[in-house]
Amino acid sequence: MKQSKPKFTLEQKDLTEADAAISKGLYTLKGRFWLEGPSGTFLGYGRVILLERIKLYGSISEAARSMGMSYRHAWDLVDSINKQARVPLVETATGGKGGGGARLTDAGELAVQAFWRLYARFQQFLQEEAGRLEF
């Protein structure tokens, strides 16, 4: 069990895989999980992809563009994440044309890693459950 190493690379992940899925015969066992905080959704598959893209591009607007998402929507998601986290997961530099850069804080890095480890264990759970299915 190499749980310390995330199973997925950034290149493999996109929003079409938001639901974990294991096929068995005619059927596919699917599932999803997410974290809610005091104001609703805190972290889920799409938000974590956004965090990874912010890390990759160093910019909320470029991360948003890479996901076909408006800057405003991405900014709202980051705001929702930061306000519900014990410490902010994204740090933004203000000023300048384009609004300055953005990066993940240490807490942000850890949250992303923890999410993918949970995702891998969830896939393992579904794999085991698919093996039990009798219909």
SS3 at position 26: coil
- Asked whether the CA dihedral 67, 7, 125, 42 is positive or negative, the reply is negative
Q: How far is the CB of 57 from its own copies (least distance, A)?
A: 23
Chain residues binding its own copies by CB under 8 A are 26-38, 42, 84-86, 107, 110-111, 114, 118, 121-122, 125-126, 129, 132-135
Nearer to its own copies, 31 or 100 (CB): 31
Q: How far is the CB of 132 from its own copies (least distance, A)?
A: 8
CB 107 within 8 A of CB 87: yes
Which uninterrupted H or E stretch holds 122? helix 106-132
Q: How far is the CB of 111 from its own copies (least distance, A)?
A: 6
Nearer to its own copies, 67 or 85 (CB): 85
Nearer to its own copies, 19 or 76 (CB): 19
Q: How far is the CB of 72 from its own copies (least distance, A)?
A: 26
Nearer to its own copies, 72 or 132 (CB): 132
Annotate 68-118 with DSSP letters as a single string: T--HHHHHHHHHHHHHHSSS-SEEE---STT---EEE-HHHHHHHHHHHHH
